[in-house]
């Protein structure tokens, strides 16, 4: 039995794998999902359903468009200022990790980035709290979940300026109020689907205010007009995302999965706090529900524990090199039984090494 705690691309539901595997052999009349035209009514229905499911699951209000694009969050780092920021204007950014930092770096080609606060001083182990967002910012950007460090910002900072959020690693894991955001983007490869597509949820009214020259493929407006089919979309990636969104709906939707996510995170953090061999790496109040980072009191035990865990079916729990130790990513599709299995291994290991 394998337990996939990988940080992304990550585990998806087993039934999604089965359906996807079948569609690679036969999606329609004996034709593979990999060989059908994106202009067939059958695939157009897939895109339509995927968009509808995102809207339904996140309760997206009127006036917003949902897009399936390519290029990951990394391309959004550039598309956001390209579509929203004029030369001479300033956008405010909250620096909560490497990904936020990469987003900040891409602003310079279009305007100015104003970093309102940073937790770089403590290796991004907390979310900065006391800062103000200048009211003349064109927009405010933050990363809701920081995969590498295991911090998460679950509330939207109070501001009058438009809010842009990189929600790559916690979208669909908890109930959000989309009306508090003007633009949400997320690489799909955590809770949406496999790597290869990117979801953008955008308030239509924030567009059309820049004088930048925007290449067609980087223009949100073009993709909205094209219904995510401005050009050939990543057919299979969208198809599997649709299957995964269907699965989430069948589980009871975001509110239900949030309960499970709370239970999974609680089970693991409780063990980290209880077990004298382990300790968490982040400020307790900023702990992520998606990526749970921890180290060992005695760093010399980390290698043996990693070996022990891997030998017992744990996959992808090595921490990111910039943090060290361990990272258990507990995305939507990871069953709570996997968390229990990890907790048991931590206890077993402690019994052996605690003398």
Q: Is 189 annotated for ligand binding?
A: yes
Asked if 157 touches a copy of itself (CB under 8 A), the answer is no
Is 38 among the residues that bind a copy of itself (CB under 8 A)?
yes
Known catalytic residue at 190: yes
When binding is defined by CB under 8 A, the residue of 6, 111, 128, 325 that contacts a copy of itself is: 6
Of the listed 170, 190, 247, 264, which one is catalytic?
A: 190
Known binding residue 212? Answer is no
Q: In what order do the strands lie in the sheet with 64-69?
A: 64-69, 198-203, 183-187, 163-166, 140-143, 90-95, 112-118
Dihedral sign from CA coordinates of 147, 151, 154, 159: negative
Tokens found for residue 98? 């490497």
- Taking phi first (over 0 means left), then psi (-120 to 50 degrees means alpha), and beta for anything else, what does residue 97 get? left
Q: Is 130 a catalytic residue?
A: no
Q: Please give the Cα distance from 334 to 355 (Å, whole number).
A: 33
Q: If phi over 0 gives left and psi between -120 and 50 gives alpha, with beta otherwise, what is residue 174? A: beta
- Stretch of 16-24, 58-66, 119-127, 253-261 lying at the interface with a copy of itself (CB under 8 A): 16-24
The least CB distance from residue 202 to a copy of itself, in Å, is 18
| Residue 291 CA: distances (Å) to CA of 170, 198, 233, 254, 337 | 9, 20, 30, 18, 17
Q: Is 102 a catalytic residue?
A: no
Q: Give the span between the Cα atoms of 137 and 290, in whole angstroms.
A: 30
DSSP symbols for 270-313:
HHHHH-TTEEE-S-GGGB-SSEEEEEESSGGGHHHHHHHHHHTT
Which residue from 86, 179, 205, 232 is in contact with a copy of itself, where contact means CB under 8 A?
232
State the DSSP H helix or E strand holding residue 140, giving kind and residue range, or none if neither. Answer: strand 140-143
The only residue of 121, 155, 213, 285 in contact with a copy of itself, by rule CB under 8 A: 213
Q: Which stretch binds a copy of itself (CB under 8 A): 9-17, 135-143, 176-184, 336-344?
A: 9-17
| Residues within window 248-307 making contact with a copy of itself, judged by CB under 8 A | none
Considering only the stretches 50-58, 65-73, 123-131, 155-163, report the one whose residues sit in contact with a copy of itself under the rule CB under 8 A. 65-73
φ, ψ at 308 (rounded to 5°): -60, -45
The verdict on 186 binding a copy of itself (CB under 8 A) reads: no
Q: What stretch of H or E contains 74?
A: helix 72-84
Judged by CB under 8 A, the residue of 98, 154, 178, 217 near a copy of itself is 217
Q: How far apart are CA 174 and CA 40, in angstroms?
A: 34
- Residues numbered 84 to 143 that lie near a copy of itself (CB under 8 A) are 102, 105-106, 108-109
Q: Which residues are catalytic?
A: 99, 166, 190
Q: Footprint of a copy of itself on this chain (CB under 8 A)?
A: 2, 4, 6-12, 17-18, 20-22, 24-25, 29-32, 34-38, 70-75, 77-78, 82, 102, 105-106, 108-109, 187, 189, 194-196, 213-218, 230-237, 240, 315-316
Mark the binding-site residues for L-glutamate, compressed into ranges: 39
Mark the binding-site residues, compressed into ranges: 39, 73-74, 99, 147, 166, 189, 231-232
Mark the binding-site residues for pyridoxal 5'-phosphate, compressed into ranges: 73-74, 99, 147, 166, 189, 231-232
């Amino acid at each position: 039995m394998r337990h996939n705690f990988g940080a992304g691309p990550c585990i998806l539901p087993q039934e999604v794998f089965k359906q996807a595997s079948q569609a690679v052999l036969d999606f329609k009349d004996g034709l593979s999902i990999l060989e059908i035209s994106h202009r067939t009514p059958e695939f157009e229905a897939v895109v339509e359903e995927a968009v509808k499911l995102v809207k339904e699951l996140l309760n997206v209000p009127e006036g917003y468009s949902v897009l399936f694009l390519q290029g990951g969050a990394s391309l959004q780092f550039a598309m956001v200022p390209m579509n929203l920021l004029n030369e001479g204007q300033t956008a405010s950014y909250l620096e909560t990790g490497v990904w936020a930092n990469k987003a900040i770096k891409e602003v310079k080609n279009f305007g100015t980035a104003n970093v309102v606060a940073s937790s770089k001083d403590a290796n991004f182990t907390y979310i900065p709290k006391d800062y103000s967002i200048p009211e003349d910012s064109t927009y405010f950007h933050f990363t809701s979940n920081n995969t590498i460090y295991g911090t998460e910002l679950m509330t939207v900072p109070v501001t009058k300026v438009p809010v842009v959020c990189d929600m790559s690693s916690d979208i669909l894991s908890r109930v959000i109020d989309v009306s508090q955001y003007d633009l949400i983007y997320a690489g799909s490869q955590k809770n949406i689907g496999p790597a290869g597509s990117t979801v953008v949820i955008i308030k239509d009214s924030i567009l059309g205010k820049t004088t930048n020259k925007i290449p067609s493929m980087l223009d949100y407006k073009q993709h909205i007009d094209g219904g995510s089919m401005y050009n050939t979309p990543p057919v299979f990636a969208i198809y599997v995302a649709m299957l995964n969104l269907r699965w989430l709906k069948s589980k009871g939707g975001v509110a239900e999965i949030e309960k499970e996510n709370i239970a999974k995170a609680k089970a693991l953090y409780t063990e980290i706090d209880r077990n004298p061999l382990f300790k968490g790496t982040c400020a307790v109040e900023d702990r992520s529900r998606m990526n749970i980072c921890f180290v060992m009191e005695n760093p010399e035990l980390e290698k043996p524990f990693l070996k022990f865990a891997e030998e017992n079916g744990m996959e992808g729990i090595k921490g990111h090199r910039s943090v060290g130790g361990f990272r258990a990513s507990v995305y939507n599709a990871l069953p709570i039984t996997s968390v229990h299995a990890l907790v048991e291994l931590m206890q077993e290991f402690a019994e052996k090494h605690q003398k």
